[in-house]
Structure 1
């Protein structure tokens, strides 16, 4: 085993809570047909599906860390590794698109261009593109993932070790900027504009108490969304950047930081349904 019992227990707790929360979101939006009410719900349910798939495979990783070996065969190894990366990219892309959609809905509610961006056909095309990018990103992993030395790993030719190390460094850097920094900038810009819009004085009379409460709630929700996104993903990417730059860490420290950053990153899939749905008054009702 490469981790203490505490880490698999954390993984299981994240999986159980996250599966129940995301299943509830999927039930409410699909079965109760909440997706017909707002465009945002279409993105929310797809985010919940991506998170649900990932959290479903998390207990297998917990069992592997506890036992110290992969016992589920090569086919399931390929599937789990692919789902992990599929969730990684689709989640970030859907979170970003949800931020853009909220910005369009609030800041450009009367715009015809925004209406075209938020119609059924546009949302369907955007969603299909996100899933296509996600599936495209895992094809190589689906082919190369294998069970080696009782571990589920991605296999690379020994003759390409040096080239692979260079590729890994480039990939870590590109992944940091394209799959974290860029989405984070877009999310922050969207929410800053939303807060500026809802903070503007009302056209008639004094702000009502209800309006003030709504503004405060939206501000708190936006702060929570951005904060959780940074807290969950920044340590993970920072650690990978450190690895890419040959950071001198002892084996024990490296493994401890590795597990810590993974727990934070995995927690995002558990927290998403609470942040993007249950914080909203209408969805709670």
Structure 2
């Protein structure tokens, strides 16, 4: 063990010693239990997560850094940050990179145990949720901005300025940080005699942690899924109606892209958030004594949470690519970027450009 590892170990040695000394105090002399409490073994769940989660986390991490890094490179080389769309897009990329930066830590953790210390446990947990929440909000904000630009173009022209974009972006980061404070407070490192060092919500009474876990589930379902989904549906339905009523040359393609965006969002996020809602309901039923703890049901929900969460996180990581490369402008930037590295592609693009200039155009369509 190297010096830095020893320091990390010493930094929470006292905490672990106290945990070993006092043990589990949730069933101490001051606790009155009037029913049989069943403690579920999570061996099967942990074995499933150890074989399944690390692979998905590493794949999500690589896709996120490749995809978001490519968008970031195109913004740097070909775009300027004086437009509202590009400011929102840059913040979305940053939020996704922040979220993805936590995934290798969690992948390593699920392979063995938490080896990074108490401070990193809190920081990685917080970065994980700040990036996740802000990504959802920036996707919603970008959709609402598209709605203003298309449906209320004249009225929104004077309000869609750089200060508006900066102010809204700052508000999103503040909301995301506040929504993630629970992780900073409750997450800590504890020693489990079978699984080693665990980075999870610990150090408080079980009832208190279950209460805040339930609040977090409801917060995530309503504030970070249902509300954004309703906003997306309203905005894209309004945009579709406006496009259909215009004489836009490629309105069929635009409507198809809108349908794909809504369908993909719904397909990726609905299963995960449905499981989140079921988890919250289960905690409430067990806490109120309406339904005894079922280990089979608990394991099934935990496994479903692992699978559906990774599908949702995959969408979160690749969303900037999905939102930008459907537009002709970013497609053109990407081709120019490749042309610098591939001379054969440069010659082909030159021939295509010459041919298009010789072809008369009857309609001028602005690309997104």
Fold-level similarity (TM above 0.5): yes
Cα distance in 1, alignment partners of residues 211 and 188 from structure 2: 22
In the alignment, structure 1 segments of 5+ residues that lack a partner are none
**TM-score when scaled to structure 2?**
0.68
Match of 2:227 in 1: 182
The answer to whether the 8 Å contact 1:15/1:55 transfers is yes
Corresponding position: 1:234 with 2:270: yes
Distance in 2, matches of 1:143 and 1:165, equals 14
What is the CA–CA distance in structure 2 between the aligned matches of 1:12 and 1:167, rounded to whole Å? Answer: 29
Aligned counterpart in structure 2 of residue 92 of structure 1, from 136, 147, 155: 136
After TM superposition, the structure 1 stretch with the greater mean CA deviation from structure 2, 138-147 or 74-83, is 138-147
Deviations 1:127-154 (A, max 9, x none): 1111111122223422332111211112
In structure 1, the residue matched to 2:125 is 81
Picking from 102, 105, 116, the partner of 1:57 is 102
Instruction: Tell me the SS of whatever aligns to 1:146.
Output: strand
Alpha-carbon distance in 2 for matches of 1:115, 1:177: 31
The range that moved more, 138-147 or 272-281, is 138-147
1:131 aligns with 2:176: no
Shift of 1:274: 2.3
Tell me which moved more, 130-139 or 161-170: 161-170
Q: How many residues align?
A: 270
Match in the other structure for 2:151 = 107
Deviation sequence 1:153-188 (CA, Å, 0-9, x none): 123412xx3244344334423431222111111111
- 2-structure distance, mates of 1:199, 1:249: 52
Structure 2 equivalent of residue 245 of structure 1: 281
| Cα distance change, pair 94–39 in 1 and its aligned pair in 2 (3 A) | same
* Unpaired runs of at least 5, structure 2: 1-45, 192-196, 286-293, 333-368
- Pick aligned residue for 1:197 from 223, 230, 242: 242
Compute the RMSD of aligned alpha carbons: 2.0
Note if contact 1:44-1:276 (Cα within 8 Å) is conserved in structure 2: no
Supply the distance in 1 between the matched residues of 2:163 and 2:199 (Cα, whole angstroms).
Answer: 40
When the two structures are superposed, what TM-score results if normalisation uses the length of structure 1?
0.87
Q: Could you list the runs of 4 or more consecutive aligned residues of structure 1 that deviate by over 4 angstroms after TM superposition? A: none
Judge conservation of contact 1:22–1:273 (CA < 8 Å) in 2: yes
Aligned partner of 1:218 among 241, 246, 254: 254
